[in-house]
A and B are shown apart, each in its own frame.
Chain A
């Protein structure tokens, strides 16, 4: 039986560290809440129907909105996700299930380096790969730039999550005579689904707010465009332009745009998690 003093000391230490952990959590959540609150404060007032339905009005005229930017951003993000997510997951599966040799090491290293490349550099790469070849800016070029940014995050998240699936689960499948590709597709990947989804959503949230890679790929556009082969408006670009402008009206719209962008990201993330995780719960667990 420990003495009274030792007991007391343990209690105090326990309280202290529990309190510390709780306090730090509050700081982290507090930062997020503060950002959201400030955006609502500054931006909510300028949100109206026109903001979501109209495009930019000429300077001097009041009103107008960011409809083209919202649609443009969604389009670029869809293009980027369609390329980046399958490539990233594919590479992650390779690393976790097959990539033990030299090539695996190389892919893993490349993904880590790519993750650290500044976004403006990735914009330049996409510019060289797509814009220079096609001789014009386009939504597609913006999508390529953001897809490149997505790949390393998705790859590493997929790998980590697949490695968390116990080896015994794979053995169970092999023991039934199920081939390796089937095992990966129907058993290992579904077991890691929730984690991979989180990784994909992190990557998505990161690229959704990127401005630099779009500067000379998607380029921005003051008018309506729905063609992936034409320059297109995007919310981060518009927020950037508006915030730098000398007009109060545009400043207010930039705040509103920032708020909408954050809500767009939060909304998509929540929706995707809800849809996929509910499907996963269906039938089992």
Chain B
């Protein structure tokens, strides 16, 4: 089994408050790994450390080792990391002034790709991977990304992230603002996408974790309490706290 993301003793702070107390985790490549836990447990902070988005908050700081495909994430410029580790956010956030086409092409265009043919190909491929192509192919340059429905916007954001061809895709509660039908579409997508890349998904929804992920990590108060095969976590957890959480005793 190949490891896509190797996390060693990762700590993170907001100001003086330590939000993560030394996390260790190995994420297997071409699989989906779910990160679950109650609000404020540090699960979002954790995945935002993987592509160094954590430090875009001026108060924030992180320490430790994150290796992604031989690259030490904290040893290279943050923009290089983010080009190889895509991110999808909780609320769909298409660029408001851009057309659908420009939204998807943004990552390439604004990093210097000018070749029209390459861009056309990437836009079509990414939208197809995000299962949005059929719905928007006739209005690519006519409609703005913001004019789509919430579910479509989120798939547009996924397409935008895929366009730069990342090795790892981080998803921070990607379906929590969507209706059940849109959520199902996103989940189907995750199955398709892990053929090509590695997915780490934060979710509040335990059923979702059990549906989409092979591995699950349970976070509590800044610690990774348990990390194992999803099936094991949900049927036979080894830690009492995990069991309490998944049976709904708290959180």
Contact = CB atoms under 8 A, between A and B. Distances in A.
A280 B83 CA distance: 28
B106 A169 contact: no
A112 interface: no
Contacts of B142: 283
Interface string B80-108: 11111011010101111111001000110
Chain B residues touching A, majority SS: mixed
A190 B99 CA distance: 13
A225 interface: no
Given A284-B99, A284-B144, A176 B107 contact: yes
Interface residues of B, number: 37
Interface in A165-186: 166, 168-179, 182-183, 186
A178 B145 CA distance: 19
A175 B82 contact: yes
Interface in B162-197: 164
A96 to B, nearest CB: 14
Nearest to A281: B144
Give the interface centre of A168, A171, A175, A280 by most chain B CB atoms within 10 Å: A175
Chief secondary structure at chain A's binding surface: helix
Given A166-B93, A182-B110, A190-B97, A171 B102 contact: no
Given A100-B58, A283-B99, A284-B102, A176 B91 contact: no
Interface string B126-160: 00000000000000011111110000000001001
A70 to B, nearest CB: 36
Contacts of B91: 168
A285 B106 contact: no
A203 to B, nearest CB: 23
A161 to B, nearest CB: 13
A170 B53 CA distance: 11
B111 interface: yes
A175 B79 contact: no
A175 B83 CA distance: 8
Nearest to A285: B144
Nearest to B84: A177
Nearest to B91: A168
B82 A174 contact: yes
A176 B98 contact: no
B53 A284 contact: no
A176 to B, nearest CB: 4
B141 to A, nearest CB: 6
Interface string A185-204: 01100110100000000000
B141 A191 contact: no
B51 A178 contact: no
B247 interface: no
A175 B86 contact: yes
B161 interface: yes
Given A175-B89, A177-B107, A186-B110, 17 more contacts: A171-B53, A172-B93, A173-B95, A175-B51, A175-B86, A175-B161, A176-B86, A176-B106, A176-B161, A177-B79, A177-B83, A177-B84, A183-B110, A191-B97, A284-B97, A284-B102, A284-B144
Interface of A: 100, 166, 168-179, 182-183, 186-187, 190-191, 193, 280, 283-285
23 contacts: A168-B91, A170-B56, A171-B53, A171-B89, A172-B89, A174-B53, A176-B83, A177-B82, A177-B83, A178-B107, A178-B111, A179-B79, A187-B95, A187-B97, A191-B95, A283-B99, A283-B144, A284-B98, A284-B99, A284-B144, A284-B145, A285-B97, A285-B147
